[in-house]
Structure 1
Amino acid sequence: MENTSHLNWEFETIAKHTLDILLIVDQNQIVKFVTPSFESILGYRPEEFVGKNAFEPLYPEDRDKLMASHREAIMTKEPKVDEYRVIHKNGEIKYFESRVMPVQNHPDNLVVVSIRDITFRKNMEEELENRKNRYQELQNKLKNYSQDLSTVMKVSDLKTRLLKELKTVIPDSEPKIVVYNRETLTIEGDYPIGLPSHLPKLIVGKLQYDNEHIHILIGDRKEKAYILTIKASSIKESMDSIWLETLVYYTIMVFESLNLIESLMNQLETALQKSERPQWILRLMFNLSEKQRMELSSDLHDTVLQEQMALYRNLEAILKEHRFDNEIDLQLKGILQGLLDTIYQIRMTCNELRPPLLKELGLIRALENLFDYTQVSSTFKIRFITQNTEGLELNEEETIGIYRIVQELLNNAAKHSQANNLQFHMYRLDGTLHLYYSDDGIGFDAEKLTPSFKSMGLSGMRERIQSLNGTIEFISQPGNGLRIKMQIPISV
């Protein structure tokens, strides 16, 4: 009797002081007992709940699922753990986690239910999920925005796209873009009061807070500052602030690119009016030309050349394995030789389009190979002299440019000069590469040459030298050969 009394006292002590809710429920889902913590957690006094259906306070959408779990626990005599929502007496929805433990061999199939309030944890999980979804949404928006900017070609289109993005992602930002004229100190458009005094302090891309707004200088164009403003209160999370800064960064890059394109177009228009070609245009043209040559060389080598070589090997194998009449045999061997000549010609064309090992060998060795190859099939003799070129390192543009100039000089000599001797003299002096060419050919009247002359490919040389920021001088008289002096500043 004493032990029973002691156990009852321990149970009552635990029941009164436990932070969790303890319920005893019978097989008919009627509450037989509930701890006092029920009132502090759900607002109902224990006497209000005892004798009633245990599933009454449950959120309607979770009720059937939990009732089925209760029946399964009674049937299997195994504990069950569930999460669900319960409606507080004041109408608030709370999240609970319960563990149902069947009482073994009890005639009413009683179960003891231990219930823990997990509302805080579930709210945190929901908040984390929302933040994760928001982060993913912002990432996707940035990706789409950056892709859309690739098609923007006007500042007005850029402004429209930026405002649309801000209104979509941060609806309460109330974005505006105005133009501040730095010469007249006036603002074009509706802008918050007090901004002008802060304009000199605005830095491109930096968020400036002022009068409950955020001001951002997107960039300057023709003495006009393009400024974005949004409501500061619309940026509620750090991820929103990071998204805004990244969005502005993308916008500034495109804004600067549009300024550069406009400047280049103006330069090009001016140059065309003066019948001139600026250095950057020449460099662009030659770089594009070299890229096309490289692609054509690669295509010829990987397709046409390989096909011709396969035909050659197949025909060669047929001639070795089979015997033909003399006339047919001669015709097939003629075709075989024709294929061999074609293969050789394609290889030479590939080499001319893209000089082999030019980058690996360096300019001097590549020129020596070119002179050796040219000498075999030419009537003139070539002499190549170098001074102070040990360890000469040039960038790719300088290397290919000088190589192409020498190629053109050799082509010109073969087609027009009627020379017996050619001399190339190359030396480095004070950061400048000097290239001197001379021949004993028929020459021409150099005084009649103009900047736009087209004769003998010399205009191409002049433009190539100009693209490398170098100078070129032609010295010639009829019957006295040709001399050319070239100076090219080098990067190393």
Structure 2
Amino acid sequence: MDNNQQFFQTILNHTSDVLMIVDRNRHIIYITPNVYESLGYRPEELHNRDGFDLLHPEDKENMLQRHHNLLTSKQSNTSEYRMIRKNGEVRYGECKTTPLPDTENYLQVVSIRDITERKRMELELEYHKNRHEVLQNSLKNFSNDLSFVMKHADLEERLIKELITILPNSNPTIMKIFPKNIHLSLGKMETVSDKVLIKIGERLQSPYIMSINASTIREKMESIWLETLAYYSMMVFENLNMIENLIQQLETATRSKETPQWVLRLMFNLQEQQRLTLSSDLHDTVLQDQIDLYRRLESLLNRYEIDKEVKTKLVGIEQGLLDIIHDIRVTCNNLRPPLLRELGLKRSLENLFEHIQVSSTYKITFTSEDLSMLPLSEEQTIGIYRIVQELLNHAEEHSRANEIKFDLYHEDHQLKLVYSDDGIGESSSSNHLRLTNVEQRAQSLGGKMEISLEPGCGLFAALQLPINLERSLV
């Protein structure tokens, strides 16, 4: 018997979990010596004390209710709560309580496991997931808004607004004087004293330098976000400079109200270049970071034994990361359709319609001739693809159509695209801008677009594009 007691005591002395026995009123009758390592108390200090004295005040009410339910149901339960060490440090604990209702004074056996590190890891993973979502949505909204920025002052205002929103207390400013004895490369982040500086461009021989408090950048992903934000701004800034110069040239060259074809072509080419750069940047930075975080979480789930409830939460986070990765890939594909040149126009449009059809409320009918022998340039291919995207956006947001039709064919040395829907045919300001953009896109390709929008008759649009037209920027 003495050997059995010694063996039992050895197990209690070396178990990682704290074991204790409490009575009906939660008074501690026995607790294992390892409570000293876990909470800083010696067993004799806790003898006859209420076990709930060790709980965080905010968790007591919930635990009192759980204890009452346990005594009533006579069923074991498991719960998580915060514990206060003797030195005041807060630790997370997971306890399993087994009632012994047939014992005198209704004893209960309590097993307490310190899960602080696991909890911190969960909170850190959740924080990084949420922060990634915030930063990703910020870049998405910012890049979308940049398409409406037409002046340097608008860009400056929008940039400052985004910095204040994502990095509170960053005190963002735009400096227009070069700092002394400091060389700043375009788009490169430099830390000077307590400031982070990024040069986003020059205008009228004055620099535009973004400045924020360095202390607000706490994570690598925030540095990547800031550099990406600056890069977006830098490209728009450069485009605004170019557009400003072109407008000055146009004002001296012509008073015509119609925008020249070469200007439209230039603007759309710049837009496509910007989209390509944004797509590549998202793919090579934000997307890769998300994939890396997902793989780390996947490895964690496969490598360690994790409580079922916690594992369920982590699997939920894992699925959330997969959704974010999917959304980023969709955004990249929208910015720059993959394999457009390799697949050709017809096949790429079929893939687009197949993808849209999954989530749309209208039926898409597409007919096309074999266009593989037509000498379509990459610019013409992407231009027609964008026109189709704009018409799909019209159908999604404005037409309320049940069916839309696309017909693509070659006739009289022209490529013709005919669109029709059975929608309501009503026009709004945003819809008018979208259709104007379609007309300008067609004009930039040297073609013309006939558009008819009548209430109750839906939208009819016909593109005629000469396929052998030689065009020049000058």
TM class, shorter-length: 0.5 to 0.7
Aligned twin of 1:155? 152
- Indicate which of 161, 169, 181 corresponds to 1:194: 181
Q: Secondary structure at the match of 2:52?
A: coil
The reply to whether residue 250 of structure 1 matches residue 267 of structure 2 is no
- 1:129 and 1:151 map into 2 onto residues whose CA distance is 34
Q: Deviations over 1:421-445 (max 9, x none)?
A: xxxxxxxxxxxxxxxxxxxxxxxxx
Mapped contact 1:282–1:467 kept (Cα < 8 A): no
- Indicate which of 161, 166, 177 corresponds to 1:164: 161
1:85–1:276 Cα change, 3 Å: closer
Mapped contact 2:142–2:162 kept (Cα < 8 A): yes
Q: Percent identity?
A: 44
How far residue 141 of structure 1 moved from its aligned partner, in angstroms, is: 2.6
Q: Secondary structure at the match of 2:136?
A: helix
Which of structure 1's runs of 4+ aligned residues deviate more than 6 A?
Answer: 273-279, 396-401
- Indicate which of 235, 240, 246 corresponds to 1:264: 246
Mapped contact 1:57–1:88 kept (Cα < 8 A): yes
Aligned twin of 1:112? 109
Query: For 1:101-140, what aligned pairs fall within 5 Å after superposition?
Result: 101-103=98-100, 105-140=102-137
1:267–1:16 Cα change, 3 Å: same
Query: For 1:21-420, what aligned pairs fall within 5 Å after superposition?
Result: 21-103=18-100, 105-180=102-177, 187=178, 191=179, 193-195=180-182, 198-199=183-184, 202=185, 204-272=186-254, 280=262, 356=411, 358-359=413-414
Aligned twin of 2:288? none
Aligned twin of 1:338? none
Q: Secondary structure at the match of 2:53?
A: coil
1:72–1:8 Cα change, 3 Å: farther
Mapped contact 2:71–2:99 kept (Cα < 8 A): yes
- 1:32 and 1:235 map into 2 onto residues whose CA distance is 51
- 1:398 and 1:177 map into 2 onto residues whose CA distance is 35
Mapped contact 2:19–2:110 kept (Cα < 8 A): yes
Q: Secondary structure at the match of 1:27?
A: coil
- 2:131 and 2:37 map into 1 onto residues whose CA distance is 35
Aligned twin of 1:450? none
Mapped contact 2:446–2:471 kept (Cα < 8 A): no
Q: Give the residue type in structure 2 aligned to 1:53.
A: D
Query: For 1:422-461, what aligned pairs fall within 5 Å after superposition?
Result: none
Mapped contact 1:283–1:467 kept (Cα < 8 A): no
- 1:273 and 1:357 map into 2 onto residues whose CA distance is 35
How far residue 282 of structure 1 moved from its aligned partner, in angstroms, is: 9.3
Q: Deviations over 1:281-318 (max 9, x none)?
A: 5979xx9xx99xx99xx9xxxxxxxxxxxxxxxxxxxx
How far residue 93 of structure 1 moved from its aligned partner, in angstroms, is: 2.0
Q: Secondary structure at the match of 2:215?
A: helix
| Equivalences, count | 295
How far residue 276 of structure 1 moved from its aligned partner, in angstroms, is: 13
- 1:127 and 1:276 map into 2 onto residues whose CA distance is 56
Mapped contact 2:261–2:443 kept (Cα < 8 A): no
The CA RMSD measured in Å over matched residues stands at: 4.1
- 1:397 and 1:274 map into 2 onto residues whose CA distance is 16
- 1:45 and 1:113 map into 2 onto residues whose CA distance is 17
- 1:12 and 1:97 map into 2 onto residues whose CA distance is 23
How far residue 136 of structure 1 moved from its aligned partner, in angstroms, is: 2.1
Larger Rg: 1
Mapped contact 1:27–1:109 kept (Cα < 8 A): yes
Q: Secondary structure at the match of 1:173?
A: coil
Q: Deviations over 1:338-376 (max 9, x none)?
A: xxxxxxxxxxxxxxxx98464469xxxxxxxxxxxxxxx
1:281–1:49 Cα change, 3 Å: closer
- Indicate which of 3, 6, 29 corresponds to 1:6: 3
- 2:104 and 2:23 map into 1 onto residues whose CA distance is 10
1:357–1:12 Cα change, 3 Å: farther
Aligned twin of 2:424? none
How far residue 166 of structure 1 moved from its aligned partner, in angstroms, is: 1.8
Gaps of 5+ in 1: 181-186, 299-353, 362-395, 404-464, 472-492
Q: Give the residue type in structure 2 aligned to 1:194.
A: N
How far residue 168 of structure 1 moved from its aligned partner, in angstroms, is: 3.1
Q: Deviations over 1:28-61 (max 9, x none)?
A: 3221101112222212221121112222222233
Q: Give the residue type in structure 2 aligned to 1:109.
A: Y
Mapped contact 2:262–2:444 kept (Cα < 8 A): no
Q: Secondary structure at the match of 2:54?
A: coil
Per the normalisation by structure 2, the TM-score is 0.53
